[in-house]
Amino acid sequence: MTEIRPVPVDQADAHALLEEYFALRASIFPGGTYRTTFPDPTVFVEPAGMFVVLYDGEEPVGCGGIRRVADGPAGTRYEVKHLFVCDAGRGRGWGRMLLADLETRAAGFGANEVVLDTHHTLEAAGGLYARSGYEQIEAYNDNTNATRWYRKALGAQHPPAAH
């Protein structure tokens, strides 16, 4: 059974998933210039944000977070950060499950839209965002690891489904 649980971003399972994510990104990043920055735990504390871990049984297999950022043209804006599913979990729909959960949580915090940044070499991620209703926008931050920026307007949301 899969389950998404809110956890502190510095909790052991979350930290281990982030270490795996950052190591993977650094190993394939063009030019070897990936900048690893572990997130400040305070930005993922309700209602400013939240971090979640996806469990398959008791095994942590994915993670992601949302955090409040400066308002955009649509009003209250949250950013999706560190969306990651480990290699063994890919192709099971877990990335979409995590993304939908984070969008619902952002809407619950009053977000009118969510934004995210990514790198053009992450083709699977770009495909997920396109299939999930994200549109490409101009840069809203100065993240040196990003080459593409996206947004999604949030409409009526429903509570996350039990997984």
Q: Which of 38, 35, 14, 43 is nearest to 146 (CA)?
A: 35
- Residue 147 has what pLDDT? 85
- Residue 15 has what pLDDT? 95
- Residue 38 has what pLDDT? 77
Looking at domain 2-153, does it have CATH number 3.30.530.20?
no
User: pLDDT by residue (tens digit) across 4-62?
Assistant: 999 999 999 999 999 998 888 777 676 666 677 778 999 999 999 999 999 999 999 99
pTM score of the predicted model: 0.88
pLDDT category at 156 given cuts 50, 70, 90 is very low
- Residue 92 has what pLDDT? 92
Query: What mean pLDDT comes out for the span 78-106?
Result: 94
Q: What is the mean pLDDT of the chain?
A: 89
Percent of the chain clearing pLDDT 70 (strictly above): 91
Query: What mean pLDDT comes out for the span 66-73?
Result: 95
Domain boundaries, the chain: 2-153
- Residue 30 has what pLDDT? 63
Q: Would you say residue 116 has pLDDT above 70?
A: yes
SS (H, E, C) the chain: CEEEEECCCCCHHHHHHHHHHHHHHHHHCHHHCCCCCCCCHHHHCCCCEEEEEEEECCEEEEEEEEEEEEEECCEEEEEEEEEEECHHHCCCCHHHHHHHHHHHHHHHCCCCEEEEEECCCCHHHHHHHHHCCCEEECCCCCCCCCCEEEEEECCCCCCCCCC
- Residue 33 has what pLDDT? 67
Q: Would you say residue 162 has pLDDT above 50?
A: no
pLDDT category at 140 given cuts 50, 70, 90 is very high
